[in-house]
Amino acid sequence: MRRTFSGHGASRGNALGRARIRLPHALEVSEEHIRADAVEAELERLHEAIAQVRGELRGLRERLHGALAHEVGEFLDLHALLLDDPELLQGLDELIRKGRYSADYALRLHRDRLAGVFEGMDNAYFRSRIEDLDHVVGRLHAALHSHEAELQGVAGEILVTDNVAPSELAQLQSQGVLAVITAGGSMLSHSAILARSLHLPLVVGAPEALQQINDGDVVAVDGAGGQVVVEPNAADLRAYRGRVREERRERKQLHRLRREPTRTLDGVDIRLYANAESREDVAESHALGAAGIGLYRTEFLFLQREGLPDEEEQFRAYRDAVLGMTGRMVTIRTLDLGADKSDRSGLTLPREPNPAMGCRGVRLSLAREEVFVSQLRAILRASGYGPLRILVPMVTERAEILAVAGLIKRIARDLRSGGHEIAEHVPLGAMIEVPAAAIALSSFIGAVDFISVGTNDLTQYLLAADRNNEALGELYHPLHPAMMRLLRNVIRTAKARRKPVAVCGEMAGDPAFTPLLLALGLEEFSLHPGTLLEVRRAIRALDLGRLRAQAPALLRARDRAGIEKWLASA
Ligand code: PEP
Ligand code: MG
């Protein structure tokens, strides 16, 4: 019989397939005791399971590359840390040794105990970490029973589950799963962000899914509207086919835009650069006709390994990016470790009281000059192979830029006298992501050749809303009147001084925000290659003159609703 319900459409796309219900995260274990002489064997069983899960997490980490490594890696690291937590390990040992519980029951008891502690915390971020605890416990439980902890997907099926971790999502897509429906989860979760960049339809926050869908039912999913139809009838199938046709038409249309200019209706050319962090990203950006690489995140070289990469390894990566873009500009951002991007090499400071406001980005680079020098040497050497410029993250004041410029000058001299061929002039730019730098831009813009606005961090610092704290929900959002005014002023200041200005945060890659950025005067975007064609299409349908004339109304908006209203009529 036909049933229908809805959740939140977290990642658009349509799918029709048989449902497979998987609930690996639930831990239903009844009380179970063991004999005294079985304690040692039980402990050994537990420790083997822990070692296996450690290996699994490491293996997953190594299989990730490109943007996935960046987005999913942080979660895997967090889960690996939990697994090393003495509180967790000792507690389990004690329950088995003293309580003579089975490893399974000890795991459940201890999970509930820790979850109770997390739940009692004032800090919503810690409360929300129960989800991470459950992912780790779920894996351990699976390892104890030698079955797969990963949500296993089957090609052509739609997975229905309680919740999905970012690492699982990446895996499910490669297994050919058509769509995912989860009872829990939110639109702002990292899984949701990742599903959007993977183009995998995802409906979250649909508790009815677990009651309404049975294993093997046929299900139609609309990832945009969050609608789910179980056992669809003829009219549903017709509607589904209509949506798929529309989707296909859109994809084809987008594909044709690969070789088209990014030109507004009134004939103004806008430059679309790509954000990249791997050779694959560079190749994709080139194929899509990106104007160049506007943000090459160098952290991935440092995050996927134990020690620090040496100058040679870095040089090869940067040189390959330059060669891959065949003469188009490549913007290498210097290391932006720290805050939520900590490495395993010990470069970042352990346990800073407030890491997002701590020693990250250029602050860390200047504090660890030997590491910074080896990176700058590698970048400057790559400049001998094609157009390249250097972008410095987390700039707060003029002195930082001057210090970097001084180092570059000295290193360039050393390299030339060492016989290296490097570019005559390597432009130096600052990321504008600290509000102080945005507000006082005119005080140091003379010291840089270009700027790029990091709206991801600028939003979090301007609104004092942690970009990784899901508990803050909608508070972390760029559509705030303060953000509109700041962006307008930054773009205006840069243009007045004839310095190129781009936006390279996620905002630039969302076609819903394109009219707004154009209205504020932006002419250079740097965005994930996955959304480049959509933004190009949006730009080609917009009249720049008309948008600019509407900018005062945008700046008068008093809240997010007002800005959204402006966007709806733009
Ligand atoms: C930003 O902050 O907007 C940005 C592009 O840098 P990241 O997301 O790497 O911090
Ligand atoms: Mg940033």
> What residues are annotated to the active site?
190, 504
Q: Is 336 in the pocket of ligand 1 (CB under 6 A)?
A: yes
- Residue 24 confidence (pLDDT): 55
- Residue 458 confidence (pLDDT): 96
- Residue 499 confidence (pLDDT): 98
| Of 196, 330, 289, nearest in space to 540 by CA | 289
Q: Is 275 in the pocket of ligand 1 (CB under 6 A)?
A: no
- Residue 89 confidence (pLDDT): 83
| Of 120, 137, 118, nearest in space to 128 by CA | 118
The helix or strand, by DSSP H or E, that contains position 19, with its residue range, turns out to be strand 14-22
Name the residue at shortest CA distance from atom 4 of ligand 1. Answer: 454
Residue count of the chain, please give it.
570
Distance CA 336, CA 365 (A): 8
- Residue 155 confidence (pLDDT): 78
- Residue 460 confidence (pLDDT): 93
HSE value, Cβ hemisphere, 13 Å, CA-based, for 175: 18
- Residue entry with tokens 């991007």: 341
Encode the chain (570 residues) as per-residue pLDDT tens digits: 899 999 989 888 999 999 998 875 556 677 888 888 889 989 999 998 888 888 877 777 665 555 556 656 666 777 777 778 887 788 889 899 988 999 988 888 888 888 887 777 766 666 666 767 777 887 788 788 765 555 667 778 999 998 887 767 877 887 899 999 998 877 766 677 678 767 899 999 898 998 899 989 999 999 999 999 999 999 999 999 999 999 899 888 899 999 999 999 999 999 999 999 888 889 999 999 999 999 999 987 887 667 789 999 999 999 999 999 999 999 999 999 876 666 656 677 667 888 889 999 999 999 999 999 999 999 999 999 999 999 999 999 999 999 999 999 999 999 999 999 999 999 999 999 999 999 999 999 999 999 999 999 999 999 999 876 666 767 889 999 999 999 999 999 999 999 999 999 989 999 999 999 999 999 999 998 888 999 999 999 999 999 999 999 999 999 999 999 999 999
Overall pTM > 0.75: no
CA of residue 463 to ligand 2 center, whole Å: 15
DSSP β-bridge partners for residue 452: 431, 502
CB 135 within 8 A of CB 189: no
Q: Which atom of ligand 1 is nearest to the CA of 454?
A: 3
CA of residue 254 to ligand 2 center, whole Å: 29
Alpha-carbon Rg for the chain in angstroms: 25
What is the 3 state secondary structure string of 186-234?
CCCCHHHHHHHHHCCCEEECCCCHHHHCCCCCEEEEECCCCEEEECCCH
- Residue entry with tokens 């030339």: 416
CA dihedral 321, 325, 328, 333 (to 10 degrees): -20
CA of residue 503 to ligand 1 center, whole Å: 10
Q: Is 457 in the pocket of ligand 1 (CB under 6 A)?
A: yes
- Residue 281 confidence (pLDDT): 86
Distance CA 274, CA 532 (A): 8
Edge-to-edge, what's the strand order for the sheet holding 218-222? 3-6, 227-230, 218-222, 14-22, 157-161, 179-182, 202-204, 8-11
Q: Is 361 in the pocket of ligand 1 (CB under 6 A)?
A: no
CB 500 within 8 A of CB 236: no
CB 379 within 8 A of CB 332: yes
